[in-house]
Chains A and B, each alone.
Chain A
Amino acid sequence: MSEIDLLNAVLQNGTVEESPFLTDAGAAALAVGLSTLAAGYAERGIGAAAIGAIAEDDDLFAQGLIMTVLPETMVILALVVVFIVS
C-alpha cells in the first residue's frame, strides 16, 4: 500500500456512496438561475424607465422594448455553461 492510498483511506474514512452535493449539471443550472435573477433585476429598472418614456412618447416603443430585453444576453451567456458541461 503506497502512502497516497493510505492518506486517502485515512481522509475518507471508508468509501463514499452518496452523490456529491453539487453535480456538474446542478452547478450549471445554478449559474443559469442566478444570471436570470440578475437579468430580471436589471430589467426592472430599465422596464420602468422604458414605460415612463413610452407613456410620454409612443414612438419610443421599439427602442424601449430593445433596451428592456438587453440584459437577457446575460442569460444566453449563462446557457453556454450548460452546453460546456453536458
Chain B
Amino acid sequence: MSAGASNPEYVNARVRSRRAKLFADEDYRKLIRMGPSGIARFMEESEYEREINELGTRFSGVDLIEYTLNRNLAKHFQDLLDWSQGRLYDYIARYLRKFDVWNLKTIIRGIYTETDPDEIRTDLIMAGELDEPTIDRLLEVDEIEDAVTVLDGTIYAEPLGAAYEEFEETGALVPLENALDREFYEHLLEDIGRPNLQEPQQGPRARYVEFLRAEIDFRNARNALRLARSGADLDPASYYIEGGVLFDRTELRTLVNDYDALVDHIAENKRYGDRLAGALDQLRDADSLIQFEHALDAALLEYADTLSSIYPVSISAVLSYILAKEREVENIRAIARGREVGLDENEIEQELVIL
C-alpha cells in the first residue's frame, strides 16, 4: 500500500477530460472507409499526433498505426499512475497489471516461437508494474524456465513455476497463460473482501468490487462459451477464476457440456440477464461467438459508465476510462487490419465494439 491520501478529484478531472477526447462512434464510421494511410493521417490530426510523428519515419502503413496505438496507450496509462496517489494508486496499479500479464504472455509466446527480441519488444505495452530492466532481462532469455526465474520476487513467479511443470508435460502454452490470468484476477479483489466476508455493502468501494466481479464473471462466461464451442475435452474447472458471482466451479463443469443450458444460466442471472438480453438472443440463434464477446465488452463498458455516474469522484471513472481507451485502440486496430486484408465495410463493422 502506498502512503498518503488519495487524490480522486484531480485524477477524475483529468481522466474525464481525456475520456471526452476519445474517438466517437461517428469517427469509426469515417475510419472504416479509409485506407491505412488515411487512418494514419486522421490519427495525426487527433491526440495521436506525437506518436505518429515519432514513429512515422521508421514505420508505415498498418505497422505505424499499431505501434502508435500501443505507445499511446502506454503513455496514457502511465500518466494515470503518475497522477494518482494513495489508495487510488493501489487500485489503478492493480488493474493495470493486466498489461503485465499481456506483456508476459507475449514474451513467453515469443520465446516459444523463438522470435527476435526486438520484434517482441514492439508488441509490448509498457503500462504495467514490471519495470524496464526486468522486461529487458526477460527478452534476453532463451528458455521459458529462465524467464520464470527472472520473475522471481514478483507475484507471477509462484503460479508460473507451478504451471511450468504442466507445460513441460503437455508442451502447450495454455497452462502458463491461464496461470497468469488467474493470478491477475485473483489479486484484483485482494484486500477488498471475498464474497460474504466483510465486503463493503455501500459506497464507491462496493461499486468497485461489483465492477471487478462483473469483469471476472464475464471472463468466466467467455471462457466457458469458448470451451463449449470448441468442444475440446478440457477440464473447465482449471480455467475458472475465483471471485465471480455468476458461476461456481461445479456449476461451470456441468454447464460447459451443455451449450444451451449455459446461455440460459447467464440469461437467468438477475444481475446480467437484462443487460445482456440482446446479445444472448443473438448468441442463441447465431454461430458467432465474436458477436457475443463484443456484446460482453460493450456491456462491461456501459456498466463502468453507469458506476462512474453513480459515484462521480471514485475509481469508477478511471476504470471506465481504461476500458474505453482499450476499446478505442482495439477498434482502430481492427479497422486498420481489416482494411489491410481487404474486408468490406460491413465485415469490419461487425468486428468493432460499438455501444
A residues neighboring B (CB under 8 Å) = 45-46, 48-53, 55-57
Contacts and interface: CB of A to CB of B under 8 A. Distances in A.
Interface stretch (B3-11, B104-112, B143-151, B329-337): B3-11
B29 interface: no
B313 A45 contact: yes
A51 B18 contact: no
26 contacts: A45-B9, A45-B313, A46-B9, A48-B9, A48-B13, A49-B9, A49-B12, A49-B13, A50-B13, A51-B10, A51-B13, A52-B9, A52-B10, A52-B12, A52-B13, A52-B14, A52-B17, A52-B83, A53-B13, A53-B14, A53-B17, A55-B14, A56-B13, A56-B14, A56-B17, A57-B17
Contacts of B83: 52
A49 B8 CA distance: 8
Nearest to B13: A52
Contacts of B18: 56
Nearest to A55: B14
Nearest to A51: B10
B198 to A, nearest CB: 28
Contacts of A51: 10, 13
Interface of B: 7, 9-14, 17-18, 83, 313
Nearest to B312: A49
B313 A52 contact: no
A77 B11 CA distance: 32
B22 to A, nearest CB: 13
Nearest to A64: B13
Contacts of B11: 52
B20 to A, nearest CB: 9
A7 to B, nearest CB: 53
B14 A48 contact: no
Nearest to B17: A56
A51 B11 CA distance: 10
A48 B7 CA distance: 8
A46 B17 CA distance: 15
Nearest to B11: A52
Contacts of A53: 13-14, 17
B51 to A, nearest CB: 18
A33 B11 CA distance: 30
A53 B18 CA distance: 10
Contacts of B10: 48-49, 51-52
Given A50-B13, A52-B13, 8 more contacts: A45-B313, A46-B9, A49-B9, A49-B10, A49-B13, A52-B12, A55-B14, A56-B18
Nearest to A46: B9
Contacts of A57: 17
A45 B5 CA distance: 12
The residue in A45, A52, A57 that gathers the most chain B C-beta atoms within 10 A of its C-beta is A52
B317 to A, nearest CB: 11
A79 to B, nearest CB: 27
Contacts of A55: 14
